[in-house]
Amino acid sequence: MIDIAPPAFIFILGAILLPLLRERRLRQVFQLLIPLIAFIDLLYMPKGTYWVYNFLGYDLILGRVDKLSMCFGYVFVIVAFVGMVYALHVREVGQHTAAFLYIGSALGVTFAGDIFTLYVFWEIMAVSSVFLIWYQRDKAALDAGFRYIMVHIFGGCALLAGIIIHVSNTGSTNFGFIEYGGLASQLILLGFIINAAVPPFHAWLSDAYPEATVTGSVFLTAFTTKSAVYVLLRTFPGVEILVWLGAIMAVYGVAYAVLENDIRRLLAYHIISQVGYMVAGVGLGTEMSMNGSTAHAFCHILYKALLFMGAGAVIYVTGRRKLTDLQGRNLYKKMPITLSLYMIGGFSISAVPLFNGFISKTMVIAASAELERPVIYLLLHLASIGTFLHTGLKLPYGIWFGRVPEGEKVEEEEIEAKEPPLNMLIAMGMASFLCILTGVYPEILYNLLPYPVHFHPYTLNHVVGMTQLLLLTGAAFWLYIDKLGGEPKISVDTDWFYRKPGVLLLWFVSNPMQDLRLRLQSFFTRMVTNVASLSKNPILLPEITVRYFHLKIMNRLYQASGTYKDKADELKGLESRIAAAKEMRYDENVYRRPIGLGVLIAIIFLLVYGLIYFIRLR
């Protein structure tokens, strides 16, 4: 028995206790203390399987600790600490509580040893993360958050259905390698790739992340997609379809990023692109590719958090989030530190040598070369070019140096921009330090990877090759700079398929369907009223029926003969007799018969039976 607690519980406990702390300073200390305690907890967690609890005959495993889960565990806790430093100035306790729950559930997924535990934390992750979007408190955020949770609920349902079929087929709840093929594995894979934002199920990410709060989006970039990569690494290594999906999404992300005017949406598309490398690495299924995916997830979490922190700092200071609103402001003069720190993230994601993207991205690309997959190799290369083109060049140029196109003027007055609060800069500094540290000294990361590493990124060939690729891309950028500026437009993505038909569905439900509902409701209400009225005295039912048909027949006859008006009084009389009959309540003294009704029915039944018997006998 070990004395330490599951890291997920440390964060979940933190989420419960945080709102109870009244003193702001104390709360800030607590926000930083929780990730620190979790980090120490990770250091003392031995390899193996523990925290096993029996529930309804199934083993729920909260601690399956090996190199793969530890690598993700470490980076999750590190980014949790960095993110909390970045969010220290935020006074809204709810945001931090949601973040703690989100981080805790992501760690729960990471260390889950069975698929039921995985599923429970998977769902908590979806529900807690949506609050980081909703806390932005504007209509766009509320709508985007609603779409976000709907997509994740759909993914969660697919996952649950897959899990149930898998467990009933195999009897095993073990969260490990799943043979791809058959409905169960396909549903589980669908659940996972929705969270990994694999096209065409990716639009939730680029839709929702840019609408989140400035600090919340930093957490969002780290956990959902990367925990999905982690579960893919566990369950579906070597599945061919993932190679193609990954390579296509790597290019898809960069192709769409170029259209974007919203700075965080542009970065969100690059998450899709970068996760593409990881998914492709999972699909390639070799030790090098799996190491590459893990390493890239680790590095990506750090540099993407840094990029979102940089973009978030600009939004926080200027209140503007679009390139077209930021051009012509010369922000590089007002926010040089933010620019420098952002550029470290930009260089990292672009795989510039000495930055961490270089040591992880090249590993996945090298794995595709090792397996002699030229198309995959070229697609991943193309995505690298696009990444540098947009995140390394277009975005920083647009934000900090952007010029107003000829013929247009900056209409508004000068923005009062300055560097963001110190805690934001410190957080960005920490992420930058880690990006460079792991880039310069990759052994730190390589020692955490699940398989032994036989890859040397710093060969002359790799370094010169990547440098040439980036420099020539940069030269092309300056030549085509006019075509790469932002435009005040939005790009339509696969979310069109549920956003536009969604409006039609809403109209259909609130108009024709609502009308049908009202008609049905009124019909059944009338029926119930009539049955209730008749049930007051069922013995009069034959009489009322006869009188009713009598009325109808007389009505028709008088109408046909043209004496309807003359006989109106007589018809009214008939109507009132029916109404009076309906009002008459059952009174046993009125309907008393010489024999009881039950006996009468029994005698009739015996008579009929006797007659049939007699006829048959003859």
Partner 1 sequence: MRKMLKWLFILLAVLSIPVGFFIKHEHAVFFWDKIPSIEAIFGVIGAFLLILATAILTSFAQKKEDFYD
Q: Give residues in contact with partner 1 (CB under 8 A).
A: 254-256, 258-259, 332, 369-370, 372, 374, 377, 381-382, 384-386, 389, 401, 403, 459-461, 464-478, 480, 483-484, 487-493, 499-500
| 591 phi, psi to nearest 5 deg | -100, 25
Distance CA 389, CA 257 (A): 10
Residue placing its CB nearer to partner 1 in the complex, 500 or 526: 500
Beta bridge partners of 60: 53
Shortest Cβ distance from residue 349 to partner 1 (Å)?
Answer: 16
Give the nearer residue to partner 1 in terms of CB position, either 489 or 556. 489
Q: Least distance from C-beta 213 to partner 1, angstroms? A: 21
Q: Pick between residue 418 and residue 489 the one whose CB is nearest to partner 1.
A: 489
> Encoding tokens for residue 394?
């277009």
Query: How far is residue 53's CA from residue 57's CA, in Å, rounded to a whole number?
Result: 10
187, 158 Cβ separation under 8 angstroms: yes
Closer to partner 1 by Cβ: residue 360 or 384:
384
Q: How many CB atoms lie within 10 A of CB 29?
A: 13
Look at the block and give the residue holding tokens 């296509």.
248
The amino acid present at 503, given as its one-letter code, is V
Nearer to partner 1, 59 or 287 (CB): 287
Q: How far is the CB of 224 from partner 1 (least distance, A)?
A: 23
Query: Least distance (Å) from partner 1 to the CB of residue 145?
Result: 15
Distance CA 576, CA 106 (A): 73
How many CA atoms lie within 13 Å of 377's alpha carbon, on the beta-carbon side? Answer: 9
CB 14 within 8 A of CB 111: no
**DSSP secondary structure letters along 306-355:** HHHHHHHHHHHHHS--BHHHHTTS-HHHH-HHHHHHHHHHHHHHTT-TTS
Question: Which residues lie across from 284 on neighbouring strands?
Answer: none
Closest CB to partner 1 among 20 and 479?
Answer: 479
Amino acid at 316: Y
For residues 31-43, b (16+ Cβ closer than 10 Å) or e, as one string?
A: beebbebbbebbe
> Taking the complex as a whole, how short is the minimal distance between the CB of residue 464 and partner 1, in angstroms?
5
CA dist., res. 163 & res. 173, Å (int): 8
In the complex, the smallest distance separating the C-beta of residue 351 from partner 1, rounded to whole angstroms, is 12
CB of 79 to partner 1, least distance (A): 29
Compare residues 456 and 572 and give the one whose CB is closer to partner 1. Answer: 456
- Residue 74 to residues 78, 104, 115, 452, Cα–Cα distance (Å): 6, 13, 22, 18
Query: Could you tell me the smallest distance in angstroms from the CB atom of residue 43 to partner 1?
Result: 37
The sign of the CA dihedral 195, 199, 201, 204 is positive
Classify residue 420 as left (phi > 0), alpha (psi -120 to 50) or beta: beta
Give whichever of 215 and 362 is closer to partner 1, judged by the CB atom: 362
Residue 495 C-beta: closest distance to partner 1, Å: 9
Shortest gap between Cβ of 419 and partner 1 (angstroms)?
18
CA 418 to chain centre: 34
Residue listed under structure tokens 């007659």: 611
Residues ≥6 apart with Cβ < 8 Å to 142: 134
Distance CA 463, CA 445 (A): 19
Of 170 and 459, CB closest to partner 1: 459
244 or 498, CB closer to partner 1? 498
Q: How far is the CB of 488 from partner 1 (least distance, A)?
A: 6
Pick 41 or 262: Cβ nearer partner 1: 262
